[in-house]
Structure formats: C-alpha cells, structure tokens
A and B are shown apart, each in its own frame.
Chain A
C-alpha cells in the first residue's frame, strides 16, 4: 500500500503544473474571446486563487513521493513537531 501511495505521488506532482497550465491557457483564451472587465476579473480571480492550490498539489505529491503519508498519526500528539 505504501508503494502505491508513493507511486501515486508522481501523479499528484504532475497534476499540479498540468492543471495550472490548463487554467492559465483557458483564462487567456476566454479573455481574448471577450476582453471586457467582467471576464478579466472572473478569470483573474480564478488564476490568483487556483495557482497556489496547484502549488499545494505539487507539495502534496512531493510529500507522498517522499513517503510522508506512509504512516499517518494514530493519535493527535503525533502531529506535533
């Protein structure tokens, strides 16, 4: 199971940049189609909000690849550094 968790980490690692690329490309194309202020704000908000989330997905994938999720805390006190 831990091997699968680590392999899947690669998938999440790739999913982040792919999602970010798709988002920026779609935003650029939609703004080009309708270059009014409403479209710019809507897509601007989408990009600003989703880029950090895509980065979060990359970090999640990296942690998974490193085996950080091999053993999850069984008790709350294990969560503390």
Chain B
C-alpha cells in the first residue's frame, strides 16, 4: 500500500474513533449537570433511570455492542459497520443535546436520555474493533504496531477534547465567570453535544470515500467470509482459548491501568485532594498533552521488540508505583505541609433570599493563603429559616484548594507518569489483539475481550475504588487495591501464557 494511502486510512479511522470517544465521554464528564436537568434526585424513578444510564451503558451494552457489530463487521465488512457505529453514536449525542429538560416534558426526558445513552454504549462497543482491524489490515506487516498506535491515541485524545470543549464552553458564555458557569449549567451544557454533529458529518463523509479492507475484500471475493462469526469465535476451543487469553492476560490489566491513570486520578485529585474543578481538569489535560506521543512511541517499539513485554512492564510499573504516586498527590494538596500567611486570610459572608419562601441562604467563605501560593477556600452554606426555632441540622460544607504553580506542575508530572503507563499497556494492544485472531472472525473475536477488559474491569475502577474507601475509611489509598490486584493477576497470566511473537504474516489462507 502506498504511504499516502495508509495515512488516509489512519486519518479516516482515527478521526471517527476520536469523535466516538468524545461523544461517550462528554456524557460522563457532564453527569452532574445532566442529573440536575434530567434525573432529579427527589424523584426516585428518575434517579433509578440515572443509575441505569450510568451502569448499563458502560458495563452491559458495550460488550453487547462488540458482539452485535463485530458479527456484522465479519459478515458484511469493516467499512460499513464502523460507518454505522459512527452514525448511531453521532445521532445519539446530537439528540441528547436537543432533549427538553425533566421540568419541561417530565418522565419522557430521562427515558429518552437513557435510550440514547444505551445507543451510545452499543455504538462504542462496535467502533473500536472495526477501526483497529481496518487499519491493521491496511498496514505493512512490519509496522502494524506503529500504524495501529494512532488509533490508540484516540481514546485519550477524545477525553482531552471533551475536557477542553467543556472547560471552554463553561467559561465563554459570559464575561462574568459566575454568570457564565450558571448559564452553562442551565443551557450551555447542550453545546458540547450539539457541536459533535459537525465533526460526525465530516467524519462520515471521509469514511464513505474509503475502500473496504483488502484482506476482507479478498475473503469476500473468494466466498470464504464467516457465516457465523459468533459460533466460530466463541464456540471453537482453538479460538475461545485465545479470546480468554486476550482478556485475562492483556485487556483486563490494560483496562484498570487505563481507567486509574485517566479517570480515577482526576476524580482523586478533585474529590479526595479537594483541588478545584478547573485545576483538576487542566492537570489531566496537560498530562495527556505530554504523554499522548508515547502511544506511538510504544506502538512503534513493539514492532521491533514484540508487544508482550512492553504491556507487562507498564502493568508492573503501575502496580509498584500507584500507592507512592497517589500518596504524593495527597501530600502535595495537604495544607498542613505548608506555612499559612495569616495576614492574607479573608472571610466573606453573604445572604440571599430563597425563591418561594421567606428563608435566606447564609454563605460564609473563609480563604486561607499559603507561602507556596496555595489558596484554600472553605465554604459553609446554611439555610436561615424565617420560622422561629427551626435550624439546619448539618450545613453544607465544601473545601476547594487552588494549588500554587510549583505544586500544580508536580501534580501534572505525577499524572503524566500514570498516563505513560497507559501508553505502554494501550499503545501496542491493538496490534497484539489483531495478531491473535484470523481475518474472518477478527472483528468479533478482538472486540469482546477488549470491551470486557476496558468497559467492565476498567470502567468499574472508579466505582470499586470509591466503594473500598467507604468501607475502609482509615486509608485514603485503599481504592487502589482493586486496580493493583487485577493488574497483578493479569501480569502473572500474561507473563506465563502469552508469547512474544511478532506475526509478520497477517495475510492468511482462510
């Protein structure tokens, strides 16, 4: 294949996959705003739909999408299948941006959001395997790791773009930042969903012009495509054992390293270290910017030294350093480690009337300043009731820390290290998965272990980690036991059973 053609293939595949990840992440990133618009907590049925939207899309529908679209991709072709997933994803995302709120149309709103979120999960389950397979089947044999690593950058870049678009929109709706954030929470949140359609249309146009994968075309012309990909993938021992090996020896560990480095780290910085909303996100954005090129570095390197040891090394580094790295995040954000400047301390107090009652909201903010530039804001919100004798049982209390420049960049460096592990485990994995399975059932066979590893083992990381911290309250780092344990099992299985081959011959006789 000519050099410019392979770059067209990579460009068309990567752009579409990046948009799909973007679409999937903006829902998660805006979960709090969406909850207030569509899933009022006071209403138990709406809250139930919210829980379903969170759990079902991530854990059930993604592997199911892998089966549905994987089967389709092995029967009718890669090109039209991952075109279809893009249309479903783009259409669902755009439609979420158009749904009137719960206050306007009642229960129809959360039901519609749930259905569209399920469609998003389904589409994502079908997209990745198609894009990775499509690029790998166009790539030169000795550069499969390098070329597929471009697809591997898209998940992280999708997260990067979603965070960037949300932060930009949140601050661009009014010159007064408080008003801008209020507008964003009211209607501005729809913008990230709506702009997606433009990107999707461009990507569909580009993908329509692409040719089918040459290897799939060959099978089709010979009449040797799979009649029943699901049965051939999971009903035959020789292939099922490779699916299980891919899951337990690679994708399971890769999933937890991916989600710990990019999601749990951000959540930990915001919710445990109490670093403010914007800083906790820009720290991740910078770390992603610096680390993303390493997907290509490790993907390319895996062509020379094999996929196995790079992935295993990434997991071992994660296992060995997660606790010290997260511990350092805690230490950096701890004001007890710093010297306060008492002269700068500020106390602000305000009272605002609560609509529809005679009660008022009393807000007190104490700001503490430290020698290294850290500012800690403690805000207490207390309802002052008009009725005599009535008091708030537990006032709302929030702490938010703004880091000084030095500490901010230290945190960027720590998150960068964690994303570097992600690039080690994730950069070579598309080529690794593609090389495990024959062409005629490749799409189905590689999609399922990928989405169980990522969607289930990885996607559960924030929930299980948080759950562990509620059970063992004395150890703020106890949540890390889950990714460490899963990655450790994966390292043992991967080291023992996976061989470090670099299959030079993807073009096989079916």
Contact = CB atoms under 8 A, between A and B. Distances in A.
A80 B510 contact: yes
A69 B52 contact: no
Interface residues of B, number: 43
B238 A76 contact: no
Interface stretch (B354-362, B399-407, B500-508): B500-508
Interface stretch (B166-174, B244-252, B363-371, B414-422): B244-252
A63 B238 CA distance: 10
B241 A56 contact: no
Contacts of A57: 248
A20 interface: no
A45 B60 contact: yes
B244 A59 contact: yes
Nearest to B238: A81
B94 interface: no
A76 B508 contact: yes
B493 interface: yes
B237 interface: yes
B380 interface: no
Contacts of A80: 238, 438, 510
B204 interface: no
A56 B244 contact: yes
Contacts of B489: 15
Given A45-B55, A56-B247, A63-B244, A79 B497 contact: no
Chain B interface, DSSP helix/strand/loop, else mixed: helix
B497 A69 contact: yes
Given A4-B496, A42-B51, A79 B456 contact: no
5 contacts: A37-B44, A45-B55, A45-B59, A68-B237, A81-B236
B346 interface: no
B459 to A, nearest CB: 10
Contact of A63 (B241, B456, B499, B501): B241
B271 interface: no
A79 B505 CA distance: 13
Contact of A79 (B238, B248, B460): B238
B496 A79 contact: no
Contacts of B493: 12, 60
A53 interface: yes
A59 B55 contact: no
Contacts of B496: 4-5, 8
Contacts of A15: 489
A60 B509 CA distance: 28
A75 B508 contact: yes
Interface in B214-244: 236-242, 244
Given A75-B503, A77-B508, A49 B51 contact: no
Given A49-B456, A80-B510, A42 B245 contact: no
Contacts of A64: 497
A26 to B, nearest CB: 9
B194 interface: no
A41 B52 CA distance: 7
B492 interface: yes
A10 to B, nearest CB: 13
B509 A77 contact: yes
B272 interface: no
A60 B244 contact: yes
Shortest Cβ-Cβ A-B pairs, 8 listed: A60-B244, A76-B508, A77-B508, A45-B55, A81-B236, A69-B497, A63-B241, A72-B499
A49 B244 contact: no
Given A12-B248, A77-B508, 7 more contacts: A5-B497, A46-B460, A72-B501, A76-B438, A76-B508, A79-B239, A81-B239
A35 B56 CA distance: 20
A75 B245 CA distance: 16
Contacts of A5: 496-497
A68 B241 contact: yes
B95 to A, nearest CB: 24
Nearest to B463: A42
Interface in A18-51: 37-38, 41-42, 45-46, 48-50
B19 interface: no
A37 to B, nearest CB: 5
Contacts of A41: 48, 51-52, 55
B452 interface: yes
A55 B169 CA distance: 46
Contacts of B242: 73, 79
A76 B502 CA distance: 11
B435 interface: yes
A81 B510 CA distance: 11
Nearest to B449: A56
Contact of B248 (A42, A46, A60, A77): A60
Contact of A75 (B44, B463, B505): B505
B309 interface: no
A60 B489 CA distance: 13
B437 interface: yes
A40 B201 CA distance: 40
A62 B353 CA distance: 68
Nearest to A57: B248
Interface string B42-55: 00100110011001
Q: Which of A45, A46, A57 gathers most chain B CB within 10 Å? A: A45
Q: Which of A5, A46, A59, A76 gathers most chain B CB within 10 Å? A: A76
